[in-house]
Amino acid sequence: MQAIEQRLSRCHTCGKLAQVSQEPSVCPRCYTQLHLRDPYALSRAWAFTLTALVAFIPANLLPIMTVAKLDNVIPSTIMAGVIDLAKNDMLPIAIVVFLASIAVPVFKLIGIIYLLYTVQKGRAINAAQATRMYRFIDFIGRWSMLDLFVIAILATLVSFGKVASIEANPGASAFAAVVVLTLLAAKSFDPRLIWDLQEKPHNE
């Protein structure tokens, strides 16, 4: 038995469980509008995901930071930074940066697109596995900010005046946009839609 079958909805503002006799309806405690399912969950998640997909291209093609040493100016993309770390005998750090800055965003984008497409098309899916994947996507999102933390720390620590300096480039802004947009996409998606999809054959 599902809550939606009993016309029960939990208010996303105060958390009160209330019965929705008809839509639109409001929470009896805080008067927030109630929905059995967010009617705009898929459209919002698609909008954030597709925008993140577009921003992912300049995030990886444009330099994420520039290191200036005397007269030598070295712009660096994410992948170039990973390669430089590996060449300088810092393979563990290179692996961490690669996973956090390239592998994780790619996995998140593919995973969210898969969930959205599956729910929208009404495809058969293992609900338990899909829910675990959604939770994992939601959990690992914060680790994608590692590259930006590295840039911020380096820019703060490296203070040699004209000898050397580090500054963020447009790639960093694009990468930050990807991280924020994928986080918003994951938060906008309603995982209950996965379970609703599995219950449809039993209710018909």
Q: Where are the domains of the chain?
A: 1-36, 39-203
Residue 13 has pLDDT above 80, yes or no: no
Task: Report the pLDDT value the prediction gives residue 147, as an integer from 0 to 100.
Answer: 58
129-146, pLDDT tens digit by residue? Answer: 888 999 888 888 766 666
Res. 202 pLDDT band, cuts 50 70 90: very low
DSSP 91-140: HHHHHHHHIIIIIHHHHHHHHHHHHHHHHHHT----HHHHHHHHHHHHHH
**Amino acid at position 18, single letter:** A
Question: Nearest to residue 10, comparing CAs of 1, 29, 22?
Answer: 29
Instruction: Give the C-alpha separation, 167 to 64, whole Å.
Output: 9
For 163-178, b/e burial (b = at least 16 CB within 10 A) is eeebebbebbbbbbbb
Residue 160 has pLDDT above 60, yes or no: no
Instruction: Give the C-alpha separation, 147 to 196, whole Å.
Output: 38
Instruction: Give the C-alpha separation, 110 to 102, whole Å.
Output: 12
Question: Nearest to residue 130, comparing CAs of 200, 189, 185, 191?
Answer: 191
Residue 30: how many other CB atoms lie within 10 Å: 11
Res. 4 pLDDT band, cuts 50 70 90: low
| pTM exceeds 0.85 for this model | no
Task: Report the pLDDT value the prediction gives residue 57, as an integer from 0 to 100.
Answer: 92
Residue 159 has pLDDT above 60, yes or no: no
Q: Give the domain 39-203 fold.
A: Butyryl-CoA Dehydrogenase, subunit A; domain 3 (1.20.140)
Average model confidence (pLDDT) across the chain: 78
Res. 148 pLDDT band, cuts 50 70 90: low
